[in-house]
Amino acid sequence: MAESISISMRVPGTSPMPDILDMIRRIEAAGFDGAGILDSQMICRDTFVTLGLAAANTTNLKLFPAVTNPFGRIPPVLAGAAQTVAEIAPGRTRFIIGTGYTSASTIGRRPATLRQMRRCITEVRALLAGETVDYNGLTNRLDFASSDGGHGVPVLMAASGPGSLELAGEVADGALVLVGYTPGMVGKALEHLEAGARRSGRTLDDLDIMFAVRTCVASSTEEARRLARPVSVHWGLMWGGPNWLPHSGLEIPQYEIPLAVRDIYPDLGHAPNWEEAIELTRFVSDEVNGQLCDAMGLVGTPEHCVDRIHEMARHGVRQLYLMPCLTFAPPEAEVRAFGEQIIPALSPA
């Protein structure tokens, strides 16, 4: 692809398994480099079962949980699951872990702390490398750890805040960066990653870095932005945007979030009734929504997406992870648009 960018697609596990596997095969056929399987136990099929079946049904696609967490499965279970998938798809498996979002909120608990993340990542990396780990006075190891020292399964941390980015740079093999998609925000995120990497004697060149971008492709900019409203408002006003928008050059007004928006289950960005969620976000003007859409990712026509990817490649982005707006529907429009128009346009002539 142009500028050596690789592109992976998120696959929500909210469809029946036969449909999920069909979508994964179509993602590989469309020319994507990888697929990330959503992990949220109350709304998705089991991530590692899906990854194993995906590994057996594909030949080149890189596969990873996107993202798992430290509390749904303990570190030895996570390491064993990752190694099992890697044996089906050697050289094609990543392990990506975050603090948990809907995985936590749907069972009434808080996401993992950075201290818990540090311990989990350290243990999983050690177990995958065949090293021993102490558990309540008992020292043990993963008997079937890879003989290559764990290098076949890179451990990445999903990070959306300054502290988590620095932790990822310090203790993980890389990061899935969720900060938006403007040069200023990308540059600031890389600064935090680099600061963490320096603590362990590394540089950015030592890290496997993917940028997660929210994606909605339609035949017109207006329709794409309309469809992306719940995600843009959720990200821009309620979740990660406030940390990063100051680095975007945009000035977003302060809004009071209506109670009906806060009450959506599991949250606005994962709303099951999408059209209702769109209407509930009308308190944000079309102009501001458009700014938020541009700041958070690839929202627009296929031509717009091609231009944006070229722009971000010039600012150091080499790996993209696409997160389509809908959680409770497969990414049909995005897979079709990238497969038929965007990926061919990015490929060298």
203-231, pLDDT tens digit by residue?
Answer: 999 999 999 999 999 999 999 999 999 99
How confident is the model over 280-338, as pLDDT tens digits? Answer: 999 999 999 999 999 999 999 999 999 999 999 998 899 999 999 988 889 999 999 99
CA distance 123 to 61: 27
pTM for this model (two decimals): 0.94
CATH at 91:
3.20.20.30
Q: Where residue 147 falls among pLDDT bands split at 50, 70, 90?
A: low
Does the N-terminal peptide bond of residue 258 adopt cis geometry, omega within 30 degrees of 0?
no
Average pLDDT over residues 238-263: 94
* 3 has pLDDT over 70: no
For residues 150 and 139, what is the distance between their CA atoms, to the nearest angstrom? 19
Number of domains in the chain: 1
Domain hosting 191: range is 2-346
pLDDT tens for each residue of 170-196:
999 999 999 999 999 999 999 999 999
CA distance 302 to 334: 9
Q: Is 4 left (phi over 0), alpha (psi -120 to 50) or beta?
A: left
DSSP per residue, 294-316: HHHEEEE-HHHHHHHHHHHHTTT
How far apart CA 189 and CA 177 sit, in angstroms, is: 8
User: Could you tell me the pLDDT band of residue 349, with boundaries at 50, 70 and 90?
Assistant: low
Model pLDDT, residue 148: 60
Tokens standing for residue 34: 């990888």
Which residues lie closer than 8 Å to 194 by C-beta, 6 or more apart? Answer: 169, 203, 204
Find the mean pLDDT for residues 31-55: 96
Task: Say yes or no to pLDDT of 1 above 60.
Answer: no
CA distance 228 to 244: 19
